[in-house]
Amino acid sequence: MTKVLKILFILLNYLTVNYLSLMAVKNLVILGASGNVGKVVVPYLAKKGYHIKAVGRNKPNFDLENVENIGLDYDNQDDFNIVVAKSDATLVLVGFEYKAKVWQEKWPKFTKMLVEACSKAKSKVVFFDNVYGYGLVAGKMTEESKLNAETKKGLVRVEVQNILEEAQKKGEIKLVIAKSADFYGPNINTSVLGDRFFDFIQTKNTVEIFGNQEKKHNYTYVLDIAPALEKLISSDQEGVFHLPTNIAKTGEEFASILEKITHKNLKLTSLRQSTVFWLGFFIPILGELYEMMYQSENEYDFDSSKILKIFPDLKVTRYEEGFKTTLEYFEKMKKQS
């Protein structure tokens, strides 16, 4: 009888905490809603019952109940304040053009405006981030890893995180920084595991690894991001969290998984740092990626055990399932084009 009562108490406490936390966040602003992650997150959160302002530099076009589409250029503080006003939480999925100069100009200014708007609205900030600020990490990347970036883009991410955390320390905002590893999945084109990667598998029977194929790397599946962000939005958690991500594997291990899915004998090749350097003169995006190649030339072990311990019901999609779904998506897109 005592054990039954304990179980009932735990269940009641879990339901009460989750119900009250969800009720505390009804009105949600999503900045950068038109991006790859936003296209997954907005529909998911709309189904959860949130009243959403979906915001983008180009006005989004979600045709969903409880979703208001808003265009905002992020350059006018008064407009920023109006959009964020009366929101319980602000989810930041914004992405600026992938150029160091653009990042140096845009990100600090945007972050300061974000802090002012959310401080006035008393809107909790949930900031979707990458791992550039860590720099090269020996061993596992955890939420306790120091910000030791040396690259231009990495230093921008450090500056942004410092602005946010300073505002949090002053009591101006409540803050969650949700960091993701490199991600992949349906509709994710501009990624090392994007359309080029899966097109090579389909058309050239080749698995092209970015960097050293002997070093381990892990990737976050885009469809695992939305449920984790929802937990962080609706709970009273604050601080840095790594989003649910599968374990790190070598290029050979990834190729083996893909061979089983495709039933093909796949060739494994590497796009190494020296090649990316020279190609960067002709392909601008590769020139911008060059400074970040240390991530692919060394071990990249992104640890997400913290969030999984706090929210054990969150799912981490196996690469077998994620790759299969993503391959099917790109195959379908190719047939429709």
Q: What is the pLDDT of residue 333?
A: 87
Mean local confidence (pLDDT), 41-61:
96
Mean local confidence (pLDDT), 90-108:
96
Q: What is the pLDDT of residue 19?
A: 44
Residues 6+ apart with CB under 8 A from 303: 140, 141, 142, 242
**Which of these ranges, 11-20, 42-51, 72-81, 237-246, has the smallest mean pLDDT?**
11-20
pLDDT at 17 over 80: no
Q: Return the axis-axis angle of helices 225-234 and 2-24, rounded to nearest 10°.
A: 90
pLDDT at 330 over 60: yes
CA distance 137 to 297: 12
E strands along 201-332, which residues? 206-210, 220-221, 239-242, 267-271, 301-302
Q: What is the pLDDT of residue 334?
A: 83
E strands along 41-104, which residues? 51-56, 67-71, 89-92
pLDDT at 26 over 60: yes
CATH topology for 2-184+221-245 is: Rossmann fold (3.40.50)
Average pLDDT, whole number, for the chain?
91
- Return the exposure string of 156-191: e unless at least 16 CB atoms fall within 10 Å of the residue's CB, then b: bbbbbbebbbebbeeebbbbbbbbbbbbbbbbbeeb
Mean local confidence (pLDDT), 60-67:
95
Q: What would the two tokens of residue 103 be?
A: 């990042």
**Which of these ranges, 264-278, 280-294, 314-328, has the smallest mean pLDDT?**
280-294
Percent of the chain with pLDDT over 70: 89
pLDDT at 206 over 50: yes
Q: What is the pLDDT of residue 2?
A: 59
Q: What is the pLDDT of residue 10?
A: 45
Q: Residue 337's pLDDT band (boundaries 50, 70, 90)?
A: confident
Q: DSSP assignment, residue 249?
A: B
E strands along the chain, which residues? 27-31, 51-56, 67-71, 89-92, 124-129, 140-141, 175-179, 183-184, 206-210, 220-221, 239-242, 267-271, 301-302
Percent of the chain with pLDDT over 90: 80
Mean local confidence (pLDDT), 52-74:
96
pLDDT digits (tens, 9 = 90+) for 145-185: 999 999 999 999 999 999 999 999 999 999 999 999 999 99
Any idea where the domains of the chain sit in the sequence? Answer: 2-184+221-245
**Which of these ranges, 118-127, 201-210, 272-281, has the smallest mean pLDDT?**
272-281
Give the predicted TM-score (pTM) of the model.
0.90
Mean local confidence (pLDDT), 98-108:
96
